[in-house]
Amino acid sequence: MKKGIIQQSLSGFYDVLDDTEHTIYRTRARGNFRAKKIKPMVGDHVDFQSDNQREGYLLKVHERENQLVRPPIANVDIAVVVTAVKEPEFSSNLLDRQLVALEAQNVTPIIYFSKTDLLDPSAASTFNETIVTGYRTIGYHVIFHQPAFNEQVKTELLSLLTGKISVVMGQTGAGKSTLLNQLSPELQLATGEISQALQRGKHTTRKVSLLNINGSLIADTPGFSSYEAFEMTINELPQYFPEMLQLSAECRFRGCLHIKEPSCAVKKAVTDGRIMNSRYENYLMFHDLIANQKPKYNKEK
């Protein structure tokens, strides 16, 4: 029996990176996995058996530390959230949706702002003072640089990702594959251009796979034009906004939802400018989305 990590999933096959030999083995799931409703994912730590590198079977999927839905990957340590400042236009709502999903799974986010060369000096200064400073104040690690990528950025990113399982995620066309190509030019990943009519990029990545880059396992993942990942309750949601969680102890009422309650420390912080207006507005929108979600029924018999 061997141990490893699923590096790629494609058409019912699972390519496993062996822990000891660092060799790739192609495997399939055992027949009883379906009966037990076990669905292996990229990033899973597994036991497997294989007589050669092309024919093997997964025996066991170990318990996951976490798992993401968009993208579908397990046991993630760090997520690099690639966020374009233009083309497509910056959306705080889309960024905050991703950050909430990562907070809910206890995954450490790094916000990487791409396409910064499209900002003139005045726009760059304003973006830095409002958006970048705002997220750094919350406590997020933010990379905002003009140009967006150079040797300094490469050194910074690789030092954060070395020895970790990481995922590069973000909106279609934001520049995920471009970033990975810059980190490791030999990858030569396909990149796409933005559709000016739709403000959406062409999907250049269609599967999830872990790439070995300078001692880091980094997933390049399909992009998206929208992001729905609200599996929490309205009472849990405030926990995934770190700045609100920190202030919640100062609210008059335990379990304050920071909406209509009197003597709310979070609402006061918004008024005082200590919490970004965009963050609070997105929080209210997410609260309403969760409150109005239709219940999900299990249709399997």
Confidence of residue 54 (pLDDT cuts 50, 70, 90): very high
**Residue 193: per-residue pLDDT:** 38
Residue finishing a domain among 162, 186, 220: 220
**Using CA atoms, how far apart are residues 82 and 142, in angstroms rounded to an integer?**
10
Ligand-binding annotation for 171, yes or no, is: yes
pLDDT tops 80 at residue 184: yes
HEC readout, 200-225: EECCCCCCCEEEEECCEEEEECCCEC
**Using CA atoms, how far apart are residues 123 and 245, in angstroms rounded to an integer?**
31
Confidence of residue 186 (pLDDT cuts 50, 70, 90): confident
Q: Is residue 19 one of the residues assigned to a domain?
A: yes
Q: Is the peptide bond before 121 cis (omega within 30 degrees of 0)?
A: no
Domain that holds residue 45: 2-63
Mean pLDDT, the chain, whole residue set = 88
Ligand-binding annotation for 115, yes or no, is: yes
Same domain, 111 and 214: yes
Ligand-binding annotation for 273, yes or no, is: no
Same domain, 147 and 241: no
Q: Tokens 């934001």 sit at which residue? A: 174
Q: Is residue 225 one of the residues assigned to a domain?
A: no
> What are the tens digits of pLDDT across the range 8-47?
988 889 999 999 988 999 999 988 898 899 999 999 999 9
Confidence of residue 142 (pLDDT cuts 50, 70, 90): very high
> What are the tens digits of pLDDT across the range 247-256?
999 999 999 9
Same domain, 106 and 196: yes
Ligand-binding annotation for 173, yes or no, is: yes
Ligand-binding annotation for 176, yes or no, is: yes
Same domain, 126 and 99: yes
Q: Tokens 């279609």 sit at which residue? A: 172
> What are the tens digits of pLDDT across the range 282-298?
999 999 999 998 766 55
Same domain, 148 and 195: yes
pLDDT tops 90 at residue 219: no
* Residue among 249, 246, 253, 260 at smallest CA distance from 288: 260
Give the CATH number for residue 59. 2.40.50.140
How many domains does the chain divide into?
3
Same domain, 212 and 246: no
> What are the tens digits of pLDDT across the range 94-110?
999 999 999 999 999 99
Ligand-binding annotation for 170, yes or no, is: yes
Contact 174, 84 (CB under 8 A): yes
Q: Is residue 91 one of the residues assigned to a domain?
A: yes
Ligand-binding annotation for 192, yes or no, is: no
Same domain, 205 and 90: yes
Same domain, 161 and 17: no
Same domain, 165 and 94: yes
Amino acid in the structure at residue 130:
T
**Using CA atoms, how far apart are residues 196 and 207, in angstroms rounded to an integer?**
25
Q: Is residue 278 one of the residues assigned to a domain?
A: yes
- Average pLDDT for 195-222: 62
Residue finishing a domain among 175, 193, 220: 220
Same domain, 144 and 211: yes
Ligand-binding annotation for 114, yes or no, is: yes
Same domain, 117 and 201: yes
Same domain, 77 and 203: yes
Residue finishing a domain among 220, 249, 283: 220
Ligand-binding annotation for 264, yes or no, is: yes
pLDDT tops 60 at residue 192: no
